[in-house]
Amino acid sequence: MRITPSLLAADFARLGEEARAAEAAGADWLHLDVMDGHFVPNISFGPAVLRALRPLVRMPFDVHLMIAPADPYLAAFAEAGADLISVHPEAGPHLHRSLQSIRALGCKAGVVLNPATPVSAAEEVLDLVDLVLVMSVNPGFGGQSFLRSQLGKIARLRRLIDETGRDIALQVDGGVTPDTAPDCIAAGADTLVAGTAVFGAADRAAAVRALRGEAA
């Protein structure tokens, strides 16, 4: 079980300290939500922030691009220190080509499914991905409530991933807390993005342990 706190919920005046705190708390990856104010109704940060944070922590950078088009910026995020880059099928005309480009840059590749995006959008590219991310909220803002309607999607993806025999992470992002994590795990998720649940906690290590405890 991987816990990957979303930096979107951190104190933006202290991003370096927050990233270090997440790693010290036992987080496995750092989730970086990149928003352009166009694909989603919010603006967050770009490659410069990754580049500044990269020397400060060792944990992998899990970069979720909520931008359109995504292709022109893939190289910049790879060069800034991304280990894994995930894109939405709706963020470009050729998802297969985008995933090929990410892998050619030396990064792992992921595909992201919004609440209304069907499982079939990922099914035809499972041979190219290292991660499938199920959004359990509509993308664009942190602190939203978990959409239980996505549990069936997680279960269907679990079956498809198992059939491939490949090591593909099944990630859930949105409203993940110690209360909702068990349902995600029961449906088949093995990677949890938790923003407010970790960065909003007074004790980040206890928050990570709570998520792991619920998962166990």
Predicted local distance difference test score (pLDDT) of residue 216? 47
Tokens matching residue 107:
């990064």
User: Side by side, which strands form the sheet with 84-87?
Assistant: 2-5, 191-194, 169-173, 131-135, 108-113, 84-87, 61-66, 30-35
Q: How far apart are the first and last CA of the chain?
A: 8
**127 counts as catalytic:** no
- Give the pLDDT of the chain (216 residues) as one tens digit per residue: 899 999 999 999 999 999 999 999 999 999 999 999 999 999 999 999 999 999 999 999 999 999 999 999 999 999 999 999 999 999 999 999 999 999 999 999 999 999 999 999 999 999 999 999 999 999 877 767 899 999 999 999 999 999 999 999 999 999 999 999 999 999 999 999 999 999 999 999 999 999 987 444
User: Which residue's structure tokens are 């909003």?
Assistant: 200
Q: Considering its fold, how many domains does the chain have in total?
A: 1
Instruction: Reduce the DSSP state of residue 92 to 3 states and report it.
Output: coil
62, 130, 173, 183: which one is catalytic? 173
Residue 149 in tokens: 């309607």
pLDDT digits (tens, 9 = 90+) for 89-99: 999 999 999 99
62 catalytically annotated: no
The C-alpha atoms of residue 184 and residue 151 are separated, in whole angstroms, by 7
- What CATH number does the domain containing 155 carry? 3.20.20.70
Coil/strand/helix, residue 33: strand
The residue annotated as part of the active site, out of 28, 33, 130, 183, is: 33
Domain that holds residue 132: 2-215
pTM of the model: 0.95
- pLDDT at res. 5: 97
Residue 139 has a pLDDT of 86
10 Å CB burial of residue 69 (0-12, 13-18, 19+) is middle
